[in-house]
Structure 1
């Protein structure tokens, strides 16, 4: 029966299958692999434009996300990313106002009704502040530096530079030994910017002097410095002041309420800043008993985003005391050393400071800088610990993108929140970067390591599902087990906003998820359920990691670039590793037993110290203790550096390093020889990889004896084996369908299980060993010939092989019952059929007649195209700029026979998802990376109609009308000029070859 126009119409209007949630459930309720619980599912960052929008539509957006397979949203009151919007009244509709409270309650109610869990930022925008009194000392502080030359006679008599800036913290002078201007280079992050020029001075350490007590109340000082030998001096003045930086700007002359000035960024280097935020919540939001009750029922994480507050020098008024208590000396005379590179090192990487001061000491003053950052770390720790304690007291939890962009050690910060969060944008999908972040969390026993995932510059409305899944898989390989997708958009009308609706970041970053994306109801739910099942497997039990790599920086690289850059650990054997900072060695789990570090956690079997590492004195002590307790320690690529503190004296550190080298179980190898040394020591990876390309793995052990293996084949097609340290029976967990199946091919020897795999690029596998819901079966083989395209186990455990046309080349198949099949089949299998002559019906998604109506999904119409091959829509002139949904139909003549028991449909990579219908029956979900679909149950003798439903991205169409688009009063074309203009068009549709592969069913017992 041919596909009728009525069926085409039905498919065009078909909606996704709703996912049924029951209740939100407790934090440790993961549900099942087939149906993960809400808290185990991915969530969307939901961009609420402001509290003036329709609460009912917000609730519907949230419920739609849940029906699609999300576990809820991270409810982010966006407020134009800190910009003002013409027409918006944020005195009335700003964060924390009665209108916002009504909206917040509506969002919580939607989560309760749908059985979802909601994250809630603690403030607008990035969550870095709240409405507050203008003079509140818990708001953000800055330290403004001023530097002037003292006249050649060494005398200074007058008013200090910058006197009216704020409160004087210190007046310091120092002799200048040399000076030079350093021309700014360019740095590339999301785009290329020029770094400001700056002056670099080398100061004589012995001449640093604090004159603060000599300054009069009017800001004048009289100084006389030695100048008989032509010495030159600089005078430095430092002032602290409240920045009053707003993360929600309001232009108002009113002073009637706390909301009249929007929201202020708070101090991030003391508990006072966090206390401002929690007091606001207690006084203005949680005084509503219903809101508090709803939060207890469906609240998930109180949360803060990346820290995007700028400054001259990171500061808090309590820092001098914190510094003295920690290090035992006064920081004030060393303040000139902190003027450069100690602001927001991520956001202000092109403006680290106009003056850089070094000392004439061996370490150039790095020890003092390290101590300054260590004191900042203490203040930041107090800040996040207050949030953690506050949320925990309400039986909620706290998540934060810890220390993101701050000049502190990120690895040291990770353990102090319930669910530390990283992000794909900053980590650049780098597995090594994720391992740096996840290592301290794993050691600290954090159950959730979160990732704000999916933001890619210039890919709004063009970020594909498979690209998103690649990002998810890379993060999982690095230890992440929760993603918050960036992000879901409010789908209604808003001020000065055209169709397709409110788009965060002015179309600059992906993505704007909503029903206005063709894949939203046509393939996205399969991807969300895939992510949910992956997360479920990565939340079970405890992660086990082979090795720990030492890493210490006083200020972490904001991008956490690769530290261990040798290929031997992954490429040769497949060792897994995580990173730790020496501050993490003080955690309760950080002890050695039976030769493993953290035996109650990751069971790290050896420690690697790369040559460029910075060893602290405390670290040397810890590591010597670990080695004496039986942990192998390998110094790789030369001796490590010394982490300087205070005056940079190396004597004690060098002695400690020499002592470490002489300690039993400490070894030194050349760079790239760690894997060889581990092998010589008898330390094998839990998951040993032998493959022709890079594979990443994770291993988790549950308390019930079940173990989970995740494998990612990176970037290109590959084949090989994994050898895992267990002899429990392996089963495959299919994240697309939720099914659990016995593994067909493996062998067990010497206490390990060896399993062969063949992967397409970026394919993954999830395996479970031990307790399963599937009946055990023992019949298996050791490897799968290319002729076996698939297999099935019956409920009774008998094995059926699906043998394709290449079978005659194979001569034997050994089975685990001792039998060997010398010929898989004596039947001639029907040859493969390449599908051509497709009919493509495109449902175009265009803007509504009134482009200002942002609430409309799309104005739709159909066109039909005859194709002899599957090419990109860009190569078909009539639809080169089209976006929407393509329905590819083909009529297949099928005749069941002895040479064709059934068939598989092989499709090219479904870049943006796909659904397949055979004779009107929708087949189960399949792997978008390499679609192989068993279509036998849907075939019948005669003509069979195959329809492939393929959603596009919206970019090509939006690009063609980009000059007409607005969001929140911003014309995105203006924004893109900084990026060199609009990106080009992208490929849409099925591209490649589609094949039907017949097989014969061979029952082997």
Structure 2
């Protein structure tokens, strides 16, 4: 606390907590995480409580980081040092620019350079991202030492790189409310989680704004199915506990069914979108055209920060062959470049990965690095001469992929809107494909559609009834040397 007239720090002289002030631990330091860790044994984890948690529980958990309300500027004591170390210059001169970047007050400052200071704000947010990762890592290690895991709703309420931070927890969790039931948003969340080999990608499910006691079961199922095709595989229903004897509140076997269909093997995805952002408030759709969905292509998003993960490599023209098995990477003209990201892209291009520059080469840089601007464009220009690198128009991406002989694992032809979600289990030599008919906006009872899907496999097809658990043979299908075509209605 600063005394106004003298600008003297008088925090240690004040007994009051600021009356109506709202206090939160520092989410940008190991010390903040340690404060939580020290609190739990004193207040909750005493006697045999840790043993009981290990017997019946699996996760320590943190809700979405909502400390943004009433906050004008995010700060932590170690920020200036970390900023100077990681960004290569001092933040001190630019503090007015990063102050109140959320627009909570009427005061704001811009610079007279080309981007009006946006690059400095991105450097500030990137540094906060890296500091928050320290906080998450400490809590993850603490949870593992307790014999459980750390689950958290990772940074989509604050100006940080969500995709970069997701790998730092055991079980990342999103939510249907904050993601507004958006399949594209779920795919943004799940891309780095799948690349980081997270077995569980969770969701706080069933929440609706101003709809308490009004959501119907069909609405909830609609939301859950949209999550599934976004690669979410665990659902924590947002509700309220009641005492009393309530019957028929569980679905026998549903947990085992969900683990079987959504947890066995690894997810397989056709296309990776390069995506660098230092703020996900809110999580909005990044790819609006419907051409990829209509033709059956699946896709997820990756931050260039994720390229440092162990599975982020190219083999036989495939990116992350042990994980999603991406067949192409799409970089859009309005994407933001990073030094490490460009160097990785160049390496992937030379390793044979098909890279598509959609709408032209990007020229935006994430952060302030004037000396890198020219060299980045030069590096990308140099790889455009490779036979596996293509610069195309933004429109008709699916047509472009097809013309390059990059096919979807599930080629769809239907009079509706179908999504697929594919998991490959090499241990049992089984592929699981969830097919979802999205009748959003269609009146209840009128969403029936028909069509066919060509699956990239020659294995024997079966129907799996998720309601009963029954497995039945499919008797009518066509097979080629590489594909199996099934009609669905």
Aligned: 1:700 with 2:423:
yes
Q: 1:653 to 1:360 in 2, by over 3 A?
A: farther
Q: After superposition, where does 1:277-316 map in structure 2 within 5 Å?
A: 277-288=36-47, 290-309=48-67, 310=69, 311-316=71-76
Find out whether 1:549 has 2:273 as its counterpart. yes
Structure 1 residues without counterparts, runs of 5 or longer: 1-141, 145-158, 168-240, 248-263, 343-350, 493-513, 516-520, 759-1005
Q: Which residue of 1 aligns with 2:7?
A: 163
Going from structure 1 to structure 2, the CA distance change for 1:162 and 1:713 (only over 3 Å counts) comes to: farther
Q: CA deviation at 1:680?
A: 1.9
Map of 2:148 onto structure 1: 396
Residues in 1 aligned to 2:404 and 2:5: alpha-carbon distance in whole angstroms: 63
CA distance 1:284–1:461, change in 2 (3 Å) = closer
User: How far apart in 2 are the matches of 1:424 and 1:162?
Assistant: 49
Cα deviations across residues 295-351 of structure 1 (Å, max 9, x unaligned)? 221221100001111322011111111111112221111001112325xxxxxxxx5
Distance 1:427 1:244 in 2: 34
Aligned runs of 1:452-471 on 2, under 5 Å? 452-471=204-223
Task: Give the match for residue 276 of structure 1.
Answer: 35
With over 3 angstroms needed to count, the CA separation of the structure-2 counterparts of 1:298 and 1:243, relative to structure 1, is: farther
Q: TM-score scaled by structure 2?
A: 0.91
1:568 matched to 2:328: no
The separation in 2 between residues aligned to 1:535 and 1:161, in whole angstroms, is 62
Contact 1:636 1:670 in 2 (8 A): yes
Aligned to 1:757: 488
After TM superposition, give the deviation of residue 535 of structure 1 in Å. Answer: 4.5
Native 8 Å contact 1:443 1:601 kept in 2: yes
Alpha-carbon RMSD? 2.4
| Unmatched 5+ stretches in structure 2 | 440-446
Cα distance in 2 for partners of 1:531, 1:393 equals 26
Q: Number of residues paired by the alignment?
A: 474
Contact 1:627 1:664 in 2 (8 A): no
| CA distance in structure 1 between the partners assigned to 2:370 and 2:106 by the alignment | 25
| Structure 2: distance between partners of 1:670 and 1:746 | 37
1:684 aligns with 2:407: yes
Query: TM-score, length-normalised on structure 1?
Result: 0.45
Distance 1:709 1:643 in 2: 38
1:326 aligns with 2:86: yes
Matched, 1:601 2:323: yes
Instruction: Report the equivalent of 2:367.
Output: 645
Aligned to 1:633: 355
CA–CA separation in structure 2 for the residues paired with 1:431 and 1:376: 27
Q: Quick one: which of 429, 437, 455 aligns to 2:189?
A: 437
Give the structure with higher Rg (CA).
1
SS at match of 1:404: coil
* Secondary structure, aligned partner of 1:640: coil
Distance 2:18 2:387 in 1: 54
* Number of the residue aligned with 2:137: 385
Aligned counterpart, 1:803: none
Q: Distance between the aligned counterparts of 2:275 and 2:132, measured in 1?
A: 20
Q: Which residue of 1 aligns with 2:112?
A: 360
2:443 maps to none
**CA deviation profile, 1:65-117 (whole Å, cap 9, x unmatched):** xxxxxxxxxxxxxxxxxxxxxxxxxxxxxxxxxxxxxxxxxxxxxxxxxxxxx
| Residues 763-842 of structure 1: pairs in structure 2 closer than 5 A | none
Q: Distance in 1 between matches of 2:458 and 2:5?
A: 74
* Contact 1:696-1:713 at 8 Å conserved across structures: yes
Q: 1:536 to 1:242 in 2, by over 3 A?
A: farther
Q: How does 1:728-743 map to 2 (within 5 A)?
A: 728-743=459-474
Deviations 1:503-542 (A, max 9, x none): xxxxxxxxxxx94xxxxx46x545x855762453011111
Matches within 5 A, 1:605-624: 605-624=327-346
Residue in 1 that maps onto 2:240? 488
Kindly indicate whether the alpha-carbon contact (under 8 Å) linking 1:278 and 1:390 is maintained by their aligned counterparts in 2.
yes
Q: 1:420 is matched with which residue: 163, 169, 172?
A: 172
Deviations 1:701-746, CA, capped at 9 Å, x for gaps: 1122111000110013211111111111111111111111112321
Cα distance in structure 1, aligned partners of 2:210 and 2:274: 36
* SS at structure 1 position matched to 2:484: strand
Pairing of 1:198-277 with structure 2 (within 5 A)? 265-277=24-36
- Structure 1 residues 410 and 162: CA distance shift in structure 2, 3 A: farther
Deviation at 1:699, TM superposition (A): 0.6
CA contact (8 A) 2:346 2:379 kept: no
Residues 474-514 of structure 1: per-residue CA shift (max 9 Å, x gap): 0011010000000132337xxxxxxxxxxxxxxxxxxxxx9
The separation in 1 between residues aligned to 2:129 and 2:278, in whole angstroms, is 9
The residue that corresponds to 2:162 in the other structure is: 410
Native 8 Å contact 1:339 1:353 kept in 2: no
- Structure 1 residue 363: Cα displacement: 1.7
Q: Secondary structure at the match of 1:265?
A: coil
**CA distance 1:476–1:246, change in 2 (3 Å):** farther
- The structure with the greater share of residues assigned to helix is 2
- CA distance in 1 between partners of 2:36 and 2:157 (Å): 20
- Structure 2 residue matching 1:278: 3-state secondary structure: helix
Residue in 1 aligned with 2:303? 581
Match of residue 591 from structure 1: 313
Q: What is the rounded CA distance, in whole Å, between the counterparts of 1:243 and 1:646 in structure 2?
A: 37
Supply the distance in 2 between the matched residues of 1:732 and 1:632 (Cα, whole angstroms): 34
1:414 and 1:337 mapped to 2: Cα distance? 28
Could you tell me which residue of structure 2 aligns to residue 539 of structure 1?
263
- 1:265 shift after superposition: 2.1
Deviation at 1:662, TM superposition (A): 3.6
Give the Cα–Cα distance (whole angstroms) in 2 for the partners of residues 728 and 674 of structure 1: 29
Q: Distance in 2 between matches of 1:161 and 1:626?
A: 58
Q: Give the superposition deviation at 1:379.
A: 1.1
* Residues in 1 aligned to 2:217 and 2:436: alpha-carbon distance in whole angstroms: 17
Residues 545, 604 of structure 1: 8 Å contact kept: yes
Q: 8 Å contact 1:472–1:531 — kept in the other structure?
A: no
Compared with structure 1, are the counterparts of its residues 455 and 365 closer, same or farther at alpha carbon in structure 2 (3 Å cutoff)? same
Distance in 1 (alpha carbons) for counterparts of 2:274 and 2:99 = 29
* 2:444 match: none
Which digits, 9 at most, give the CA deviation of each residue in 1:731-777, with x for residues without a partner? Answer: 1111111111112321211321111111xxxxxxxxxxxxxxxxxxx
